[in-house]
Structures are given as structure tokens and as C-alpha cells.
Amino acid sequence: MKILLLGSGELGKEFTIAAQRIGQTIIAVDSYENAPAMQVAHDFEVINMLDGEALDRIVAKHNPDFIVPEIEAIRTERFYDYEKQGITVVPSAKAANFTMNRRAIRDLASKELGLKTANYRYATTAEELQLGVKAVGMPCVVKPLMSSSGKGQSTIKTEADIEKAWNYAVEGSRGDVVEVIVEAFVKFNSEITLLTVVQNNNPTLFCAPIGHRQERGDYQESWQPARISDKDLYEAQDMAEQVTEALGGAGLFGVEFFLTDDGVYFSELSPRPHDTGMVTLAGTQNFNEFELHLRAILSLPIFEITLEKAGASAVISASRNATNPTYAGIEKIAALPKTDFRIFGKPTSRPYRRMGVALVHDTLETPIEEVVEKAKSAARLVTVHS
């Protein structure tokens, strides 16, 4: 099968590796050359994916069997036409179109399905943001409607923060949508990602829940399994199945939830492998999240997903701007027991950019806090240089 991968970051790279292992052909697409997935794909294209005509040209040129989006900044409304041409859009044109924009997915979850979410409003100007903040109260969180990895996200605690939050959100927005969502702050005990695998002809499956910690809206560490009560897990699985069924199609979804004293709140959804799910590269499951996504796409039956080990991932971040960055300390992390790492191969770095990840595994009996601390310590051994 021929797969056109739209977005070629670290998640796309691992997906490409999984696809190569079972003989699939990958054409990697991104807005810059030498993106991580391009380094391991059969072919690549460099275009602005918000340019609908450019997108049409490469789809016509390669005539793929599948289109697999990996990022938000895509002219997703074109996907409906590609489906009419007989191309499978992953998970579906509707799912990709809805989830690339926070307005569509939040309204689906809250208004159509009645799932429990934070109180929220939308704003297209700084003045509308002020009204939204007044409606939901402070503290509150502001996010661009189109962004990922925490870009443009900030917390408003005082009136003085509102204009700064608006400007930061607009700067961090992907795509050409100048609009933000402002959410009431949910007093949560923890956050989880529930990787949900929707199959074409078999039951929906769930991975063991993944816990994670964020800074600046971007994950820093993730761990599997996360602690969660049976009641909360059942509630999260029910919500995840409702929203993925409404979106349609097959593939792996990363569904995020807040766990509170008041139960489970739906937060966000990604129709693809999730950054926090990189912990599965530590061998925590019988299939990692990229293999699960691929198998679901290709309608290869997945009998079960089993939790094999406890694991944690910790981000290796850059602290400076650099072209063709180099890495120090790799030999130190390589010498550690039950530890592995990935360097993504990004051609440039900037402060806080995710450049790699440290991976640690241990037995299921090992306290997960110990595994997380080992991953954090391992990640600190590697530094990114110009």
C-alpha cells in the first residue's frame, strides 16, 4: 500500500519505521526539508499543506491508497474530496477535519454527545477574549483553535494577563484561523491519555492509561500505567468510545482526560499517535502505539493489547537555537540499565523544542514513580549543542 504522510515529525518518523517493517510505501510531506520522517521514507515532498492546490497536486501525483495526517496545519476540508476519489483518509475525513480544530471537537464532545468538559468560550479578538474570561472565570487557560505541543497556550490569572495571552495564542497558532478557546481551569488530580484503537471489523480496544506532566502546555514526562480507579477508567473508556464512534474511521486516537474529585472530564483528542504515547516505545505493550495505528489502518486484526512492563518517557529538550545540532551525553544514557533513547534528527533546534526522548522500563511491580525519576535523570544526561 502507498501512504501519503502529511506531517513528518518524530511521531511520523516512528510511524514510517513501523510501516517499513511490513512493506508499506511512505511518502513523507512537510513544510521543510529533512524533517524526521523524510529521513526514513521512500520519497518526500516539501509544501505548505495549508495551500489546497499544492495539496491537490501531490495527491494527484502520488495517488496514494491512504492519507495519514500527523499535524494540524493542513487544508483538511480537501479530505472530503479525496475520500470521494476512493482514497482512505485516516481515521476519516470527518475525524481529521473535526480534530484539527478545537472548536469542532469540543462542540462535538460537549454539545452533541453531552460529555463532561471544562466551561469554555471562543474569541476572535482580544475584546472577545476579555468577555470569555469574564464568563468562565479566572484562572483560565487560553489555546489557539489550531496548535499542538502547547504552542500558544497560556494561563490567565489576572486582568493584566489577557492581552498577553491573546498575542501569544495568535503567534502560536497553526494555520490561518485567528481564534482561541478559553477554558475554565479544572482542578484536577491528574491527567491521562487513553490510547483508543478503533478497528474496521473488530472491537475498539484501549491501551492501559498513560499519565503525563506538562509544562508550557507540552508534555515533559509520561508513564504507563497511570493510577486510576476502575470507576474512572470505565467512564473514560465510555467517553472515548462515544467520541471516536461519532468521528468514524479506523486508527489510533489519543484521548486526553482530567481526573478530578468530581469524576472524569474530557479534555482533547488527537486522531493519531500521541506524543505522551511515546512511552510505548519502552516496550510497555505487546504493540507500540505506531504499530497499533498502522494495523488498524490496514485492517489487520488486533486480538488484544497487553501491558507487559511499567515504563516512562522523558523529553530531551533544546535550550538554544541551532542549525544541525549535535548531542553530548549519549554514551552516558546508553550505559544505563533498562534504558533506551530516541534522537529525532530535527535539522534545527530552539529553546524548549523536543529533540529526543529517554525511555525507561521495569517490572509491573516497580513503583511507577521510580521509573519516572529514572527517565527524568536519563534525559538530563543528554544536552543539545550548536
Question: What residues are labeled active site?
Answer: 148, 150, 256, 268, 275-276, 354
Whether the CB-CB separation of 115 and 239 falls below 8 Å is answered with yes
- Using CB atoms within 10 Å of the CB of residue 222, give its burial: 0 to 12 exposed, 13 to 18 middle, 19+ buried: buried
Helices 289-297 and 10-21, axial angle in degrees (round to 10): 60
Three-class SS state of 170: helix
Whether the CB-CB separation of 264 and 234 falls below 8 Å is answered with no
Task: In whole angstroms, give the CA distance from residue 28 to residue 92.
Answer: 19
DSSP single-letter state for residue 275: G
Query: Which candidate, 307, 92, 277, 90, places its Cα nearest to that of 195?
Result: 277
Task: In whole angstroms, give the CA distance from residue 26 to residue 35.
Answer: 14
Three-class SS state of 267: strand
Cell of 42: 521512500
Whole-number Cα distances in Å, 50 to 8, 177, 205: 15, 11, 33
